[in-house]
Amino acid sequence: MTPEQLVSCVDFRYITDVVTKDEATEILQQQQSTKLKREKFVCENGYPAYTTSTAWLGYSDETLREKCRKALSEGWTRFKMKIGANLEDDKRRATIMREEIGWQNALMMDCNQRWDVPDAISWMKELAQFKPLWIEEPTSPDDILGHATIAKALNPLGIGVATGEMCQNRVIFKQMLQAGSLQFLQIDSCRVGSVNELIAILLMAKKFDIPVCPHAGGVLLCELVHHISMFDFCCVSATMENRVIEFVEHLRDKFVYPVKMKGTNYLPPKEPGYSSELTAKCIEEYEYPNGKVWAELFQSGKF
């Protein structure tokens, strides 16, 4: 599609104070002459990812070490850990993470909306010694100014704020960008209503020079976002600097078009569409209430 065709897909209502139709067209036109070069690059090399599978809350210290070592053996250099339940536990687990992955690899932290604003600031000041690249969802996802307060306090420590997986439209993202609430913008293809809306968000992120790092820590989310980041690289931001896509490895056997990886990089999908189709076997087994899985749950008395 031409820049003009792409721009015609976007609803600019309510966001023209940040990016206008003419500005969006200019952004896309600027990338046209080098777009094919980037397409070739991403087809050959893929798009960088980070792993969330090594450090879920509830893992024993031994399991944490084992999963870090396995991930390192597979080539991973970017790791995310869940935090927020207990500060001393977080310090112990972060110490283990750094012992295993070293200081040359990136470490991100995610507390899944656990804290009030003052708690987020004080907690992360305690964890700043572990050099996290970002703290993800440090407070209510609806608290735009709260995120801005946290970012202002933590940015001098080298810690960015990452959020957006619960953000449902371009207007809220606009306000977060205007307020300085995030340093890493995490779109979610299931939360935002359409590719059209996602294009609007990518254009605004480009205007503010904020990297887009999609949320993909759930069923089919890896499949639903990797092509969005590749479009951003080829047509909008024209860079992969500070940009990564989340990756989790579970349940890939349930999908008709599971993502393909080259090492720790996402490869572009070759099939048309949104890559979101479940296998017939998966639907048959999990269909409510007659699927095999539900029948077993009913029979066991769990439901």
Catalytic residues: 82, 215
* 3-class state of residue 180 by DSSP: coil
Q: By three-state DSSP, how is residue 123 classified?
A: helix
Provide the strand spans (E) within the chain: 47-55, 78-82, 106-110, 134-136, 160-163, 184-185, 245-247, 261-262, 265-266
Give bridge partners of residue 109 from the DSSP assignment.
81, 135
Q: Which two tokens stand for residue 31?
A: 């990338």
Read out DSSP for 65-78?
Answer: HHHHHHHHHTT--E
| Distance (Å) of CA 258 to CA 13, 220, 234 | 35, 8, 22
Residue 74 structure tokens: 């597979």
Distances 185 to 21, 81, 119, 215, 281 between C-alpha atoms, Å: 21, 18, 22, 9, 35
Candidates 115, 112, 109, 113; CA nearest to 97 is: 109
